[in-house]
Structure 1
């Protein structure tokens, strides 16, 4: 089996490279160890969190936005231009949003308290917020499967339930035989160390484990935008550029030390059936513990209930997401001629992969 490009991994990063290659008129084979994508690409909020990024991440995110909108027309992928509401529940959080809006212009619109409540259901203590109109929403449980189906319809050959045993110049040795290609892209997320352990050690790749939950909507209300909070201001580069961000971190460290220790990014999105995806916590290790601490779920549930202004939430599902983490947000390396190892090492694969992939292919095919 021979193609122009062999992609190892059918998560969003691998599919982004397959999509970029097909748009160049290249033949593609995708090798995936499972019978369908089941990792970080489906265990997320379905949130294209474009506006809060900075630097290269913002550049890739804005490019990815155009590809997501193109996919909405080319494939059975529902992409919603619903934006994001950032809820401020303290004066220092509102100060960050005011500074951010001054930096970004039309990319961020300030909201007063009534305007926040008109867009999203929230409890007491809201002082204002901001609306980020460029951000996107997709159904995380369906989007990557729809993209894979669309690519298969355009001639991409998928080898599902096929393990990659060896990767080298011009070929991938799999459990179904040798697949040859002029170029090879390895997009296996946090499993970089399974194929290239020295590279993973050098780039200090770890696994980030997230506690996430699906809960019944307590309000029975349609919530179009994604919803972020003051905890989110500490996790995205765009907000970190604002001078007031330090005051938010200092206050939250003083008032909610346990929540910062578990890396809480309090946010939620709504699934198509009305349920809410809430989360999430962050823990880092090369080999995460297999045990889920109930205390982390309790913290997420308590804070999400407070945000929504209800006494408790009814849990439908719980899961742990895992993604690659490293000091730099993107890993792009060349372990052999014609081979690129690519991983989004910052938890923003759905946001940036479709913008990152064309840049990688430009270099790989040069």
Structure 2
């Protein structure tokens, strides 16, 4: 088959990867010169640990696919580094212990470690904490390197063409297939079009599929200069338990009832996630904002909070902050929906709304879509 994929982010590229892997031809259009949305504004984490029971199988499948892709495409920087969620209070420790005793703990790779055991795994953690929930199955990729590396790999197949700076303006469905017209006046004929618009829910997407059951979520993150030592796992704080459905249960209810977040963390719906990039710097975040219109600028208070929490866990001063940014991702409003797929016409589908899970679940979502559409 011939496919046109509109959107050059991780979701669109994952669908291209699935299609090329099944022997099809793909033309991919990206309106920017390079993807600039949530795909490159994230942690690069392949985050199995906090996934709900309903999405765990898909997350584990995606983790396996990322490892396979990393073996073929070293440029994506795949690292099976795992993660450490650090508990600093008895209430947080109770959540960690419940997770490690849960029915899916082995599949997730959960183990609760005491401080000495934590430091044996990640010597950079010299700060104050009671224990760490180690997740051996979490991993990382270099989000700003992954897409160019994947496109080079796809191009080598001889069945893939990428057009940057090409905005799709019209998709015409016919009995035989589709014709996509871009803003250069070019037309691309195909058997099927997949639209993976990220957080762009208006314009062509609305014309094709109407108002979708998705919302936009804004976050703030930052990047440090090189740390000067390895951070061998990704790290998270106890507040992260509040934001991942995999930790739901009576212990989390107690945590939410008896241990309030700080005023800044609560106001910005914050958790600490931190991962080291290959160049040695740390990507640190993040906040959650759900009500539009979003501000065009960033707030200082969340960055100060994240810096303080990270320094407390590391037991040292952070290197200088060299970059700060905000990002917006698309999230399905149904909490049980991993992604929103909308059939816009006979041969046109819109796929969006993984809700901050695009990097983690992208390869498996692409594979699942290919199965559903009999590609």
Q: TM-score, normalised by structure 1?
A: 0.92
Correspondence for 1:249 among 256, 277, 280: 256
Q: How far 1:283 sits from its partner (Å)? A: 0.9
Which ranges of structure 1 fall in alignment gaps of 5 or more residues? none
CA contact (8 A) 2:84 2:133 kept: yes
- Cα distance in structure 1, aligned partners of 2:348 and 2:57: 24
- Cα distance in structure 1, aligned partners of 2:372 and 2:42: 29
- Cα distance in structure 2, aligned partners of 1:102 and 1:227: 20
Cα gap change, 1:135/1:124 in structure 2, threshold over 3 Å: closer, same or farther? closer
Q: Secondary structure at the match of 1:346?
A: coil
CA deviations on 1:277-315 (whole Å, 9 max, x unpaired) are 111111123442212222232222233223322356521
Within-5 A mapping of 1:49-88: 49-76=47-74, 77-88=76-87
2:159 matches 1:153: no
1:28 equivalent in structure 2: 26
- Cα distance in structure 2, aligned partners of 1:252 and 1:260: 11
Q: Secondary structure at the match of 1:224?
A: coil
Q: Secondary structure at the match of 2:101?
A: helix
Q: How far 1:209 sits from its partner (Å)? A: 1.4
Q: How far 1:135 sits from its partner (Å)? A: 1.1
Q: How far 1:217 sits from its partner (Å)? A: 4.8
1:189 equivalent in structure 2: 198
2:314 equivalent in structure 1: 308
CA contact (8 A) 1:168 1:339 kept: no
CA contact (8 A) 2:100 2:111 kept: yes
Q: TM-score, normalised by structure 2?
A: 0.90
Cα gap change, 1:28/1:233 in structure 2, threshold over 3 Å: closer, same or farther? same
Q: Secondary structure at the match of 1:352?
A: helix
Q: Secondary structure at the match of 1:278?
A: strand
Of 283-292 and 353-362, more deviation after overlay is shown by 283-292
Which ranges of structure 2 fall in alignment gaps of 5 or more residues? none
2:166 equivalent in structure 1: 162
Correspondence for 1:281 among 276, 287, 291: 287
Task: Give the count of matched residue pairs.
Answer: 360
Correspondence for 1:324 among 304, 322, 330: 330
- Cα distance in structure 1, aligned partners of 2:113 and 2:342: 42
